[in-house]
Chain A
Amino acid sequence: MKSPLLPRESLIAGAYGLGAMLILAALIVLGSRQLSHFDAALVGYTFASLFAMFGIVYRYSMWLQRPPTALYWRRGWQAFFTRRGRARNVGLMFRRLFSSFALNIFIWRRNWLRGAAHWLIMWGCVLAAAITFPLVFGWVHFEFADGSFERYRANIFGFSTFSFETDSLLGFLIFHGLVWASFLVIAGVMLAMRRRMRSHDALALQRFGEDLLPLIMLFAVSITGLMLVVSYSWMDGFAYEFLSITHAATVIFTLLWMPFGKFFHIFQRPAQLGVAFYKDAGQRGQQAICVRCEQPYASQLQVDDLIEVQRRLGYRYEFVTDRVDHYQRVCPRCRRISMALSQGKLWQESHGTAS
């Protein structure tokens, strides 16, 4: 039988990616009121975003089809929606969102430099994305309010919302939102680059495409964006066209790169929340007892799931003995000792037969 041109997983992932891209395109048309608020000058950003959406959903879908990911994805949701713990889980979710995602506490614990770098880059990017994408897609646009040139009104998805004075502090903060974002990103990139240039572990392990290119891209996007502001604020628009094309090129490259490199962790990372609920469920449930030392070592749920995952991956850790049916029933410490004892046994046998 001829093998299909594309594996089934790729076709499924491609369909999801295409679907997500079409949904985003429809939302752009809808949110910009049939493109009436869509800025044609930003069409390059829009197409790059549509491609990024396809790529991210394609890769996410491929990732979700790996046996361990598929299982823990399902288990995470099951643990979250468990009938008796739903209210508690919602509270826990907000707490974990705040500590892990808003504050990045687990990264600060690794090292303050890592924590500071990541926190600054993350919030800079979040702020920039929250401003840029709605503007590019025509979901948010501003217009003069009350028939004067002194007040601006923000329209979201074509609906009028709040207004503010153009010369007010709020106006200044809003109009320069991307400037504040780039300050955060540049500071974070500097700290991260310092570590990457000086730390022995980073020097040994880092790879250009995986670790340095994302930092270079973030810096390029931020600095070219700032240069645009400098050009129109203080230099009468000197080289503005060149700068705007350069800025667009850096942003579009970054968007196109999102599904492939390190930026993809932005979409993988929320799985950390699901795992936390899975662990909670495991702790409340039955504990697995090691067949060798007879001590509890993990949740029975996780041990049983691992046996299933290993079978699906093609591993054969099954034993044909009365005392143990699967190697997963042996705790990590007993695994360490057993291997050394089996080596010792070879020496024992060798002494018995030698001489």
Chain B
Amino acid sequence: MAIPENKYFFIDPHRCIGCQSCVQACSECDTHKGKSMIHLETVDRLQSPQTLPVICMHCDSPTCAEVCPADAIKRTEDGVVQSARKPRCIACNNCVLACPFGVPKMETSMDLMMKCDMCYDRTSIGKKPMCATVCPSGALHYGTLSEIEELRPRSRTNNEFRFGGQTIRTKVQMMVPRQSPATHLDVADGMFESPADEADDAMLSGAVFELPTVQ
């Protein structure tokens, strides 16, 4: 069983409305029963209502796996970076600190790192991840490239990210403006960007939703 090659996970953080549906649905996934692996962050609670969901981006060269001293994190042939293997994880927290997207969670009581595995029990048999089935705003979408192109005519996909001198490519695609000349997303552009500093909130100003085309 493997994830179909034509299926992609698309994330569009600025569409998030903070409804928590993804968080609740995630905790129902069978591979991490009862525990939600999604981080639903508020950008700045005092200044902005903007929220954003964070899922694992499933890097081609996962830093979390490389820095793991126990060799506990494995990437499947279809590109999904799995949660730490239970017999091996020694709960050192390296993956939590090293992940460039801040994804893994440490379950201290169980001495175990857990993370989003794209609901592998579902996606490996052709179903959608739990979060993508319930997201009402399309911040999390699972489907084919042609589907997303039809749904978001003003957007395009990007899976290249820059962190200082390091470029990371991911299986998960982030939506960016179609006319943007950027070839990648640079974390430095947002790192010291605060809604409080700006007259215009970067994320809210980006929140111009593309409504689905009604056939």
Q: Mark A228-253, 1 if CB is under 8 A from B, else 0.
A: 00000000000000000000000000
Known interface pairs A68-B94, A316-B166, A319-B164; A336-B41 also in contact (CB < 8 Å): yes
Bound-complex Cα distance A337 to B167 (A): 18
**B69-96 with Cβ < 8 A to chain A:** 69-71, 82, 86-88, 90-94, 96
Bound-complex Cα distance A302 to B152 (A): 42
- The answer, yes or no, to whether A88 is at the interface (CB within 8 Å) is no
Q: Are B33 and A343 in contact (CB under 8 A)?
A: no
Give B87's nearest chain A residue, CB to CB.
Answer: A265
Give B52's nearest chain A residue, CB to CB.
Answer: A340
Which of B19-27, B130-138, B140-148, B182-190 is the interface stretch? B182-190
Q: Which residues of B contact A348 (CB under 8 A)?
A: 200, 202, 205-206
Q: Are B164 and A317 in contact (CB under 8 A)?
A: yes
Give A271's nearest chain B residue, CB to CB.
Answer: B90
Bound-complex Cα distance A204 to B129 (A): 14
Q: Are B164 and A204 in contact (CB under 8 A)?
A: no
Q: Are B187 and A338 in contact (CB under 8 A)?
A: yes
Q: Are B71 and A343 in contact (CB under 8 A)?
A: no
**B84-117 with Cβ < 8 A to chain A:** 86-88, 90-94, 96-103, 109-112
Give B205's nearest chain A residue, CB to CB.
Answer: A348
- The answer, yes or no, to whether B169 is at the interface (CB within 8 Å) is no
- The answer, yes or no, to whether A72 is at the interface (CB within 8 Å) is yes
- The answer, yes or no, to whether A333 is at the interface (CB within 8 Å) is yes
Interface of A is mostly: helix
Bound-complex Cα distance A281 to B128 (A): 43
Bound-complex Cα distance A57 to B192 (A): 48
Q: Are B33 and A323 in contact (CB under 8 A)?
A: no
Which of A303, A310, A313, A315 has the most chain B CB within a 10 Å cutoff? Answer: A315
Q: Are A336 and B91 in contact (CB under 8 A)?
A: no
CB distance from B39 to the nearest CB of A (A): 6
CB distance from A265 to the nearest CB of B (A): 4
Known interface pairs A327-B163, A333-B41; A68-B109 also in contact (CB < 8 Å): no
Give B42's nearest chain A residue, CB to CB.
Answer: A337
Q: Are B202 and A341 in contact (CB under 8 A)?
A: yes
Bound-complex Cα distance A69 to B67 (A): 8
Q: Are A201 and B31 in contact (CB under 8 A)?
A: yes
- The answer, yes or no, to whether B120 is at the interface (CB within 8 Å) is yes
Interface size of B by CB at 8 A reads: 75
CB distance from B192 to the nearest CB of A (A): 6
Bound-complex Cα distance A350 to B180 (A): 6
Q: Which residues of B contact A268 (CB under 8 A)?
A: 70-71, 88, 90
Known interface pairs A72-B69, A354-B179; A341-B190 also in contact (CB < 8 Å): yes
- The answer, yes or no, to whether B171 is at the interface (CB within 8 Å) is no
Known interface pairs A271-B70, A278-B92, A350-B177; A318-B33 also in contact (CB < 8 Å): no
- The answer, yes or no, to whether B214 is at the interface (CB within 8 Å) is no
Give B161's nearest chain A residue, CB to CB.
Answer: A339
Q: Are B111 and A340 in contact (CB under 8 A)?
A: no
CB distance from A270 to the nearest CB of B (A): 9
Q: Which residues of A contact B202 (CB under 8 A)?
A: 341, 344-345, 347-348
Q: Which residues of A contact B94 (CB under 8 A)?
A: 68, 302, 306, 309
Q: Which residues of B contact A313 (CB under 8 A)?
A: 66-67
Give B92's nearest chain A residue, CB to CB.
Answer: A275
Bound-complex Cα distance A309 to B63 (A): 11
Q: Quick one: which of A68, A200, A344, A349 contacts B68, CB cutoff 8 A?
A: A68
- The answer, yes or no, to whether A194 is at the interface (CB within 8 Å) is no
**B5-63 with Cβ < 8 A to chain A:** 13-14, 30-33, 39, 41, 43, 50, 52, 54, 63
CB distance from A348 to the nearest CB of B (A): 5
Q: Are B200 and A342 in contact (CB under 8 A)?
A: no
Q: Quick one: which of A200, A303, A310, A343 contacts B190, CB cutoff 8 A?
A: A343
- The answer, yes or no, to whether A272 is at the interface (CB within 8 Å) is yes
Q: Are B165 and A303 in contact (CB under 8 A)?
A: no
Known interface pairs A204-B30, A272-B111, A306-B98; A68-B67 also in contact (CB < 8 Å): yes
Bound-complex Cα distance A303 to B207 (A): 35
Q: Which residues of A contact B67 (CB under 8 A)?
A: 68, 306, 309-310, 313
Q: Which residues of B contact A84 (CB under 8 A)?
A: none
Give A63's nearest chain B residue, CB to CB.
Answer: B71
Q: Are A106 and B109 in contact (CB under 8 A)?
A: yes
Known interface pairs A66-B71, A204-B30; A341-B111 also in contact (CB < 8 Å): no
- The answer, yes or no, to whether B211 is at the interface (CB within 8 Å) is no
Give A210's nearest chain B residue, CB to CB.
Answer: B85
Bound-complex Cα distance A51 to B183 (A): 53
Which of A201, A203, A327, A347 has the most chain B CB within a 10 Å cutoff? Answer: A347
Q: Which 3 A-B pairs have the closest CB atoms?
A: A347-B206, A341-B190, A342-B190
Can you offer 11 A-B residue contacts whose CB atoms are under 8 A? Answer: A69-B69, A109-B110, A114-B86, A302-B97, A306-B97, A310-B63, A317-B166, A338-B187, A338-B190, A345-B202, A346-B185
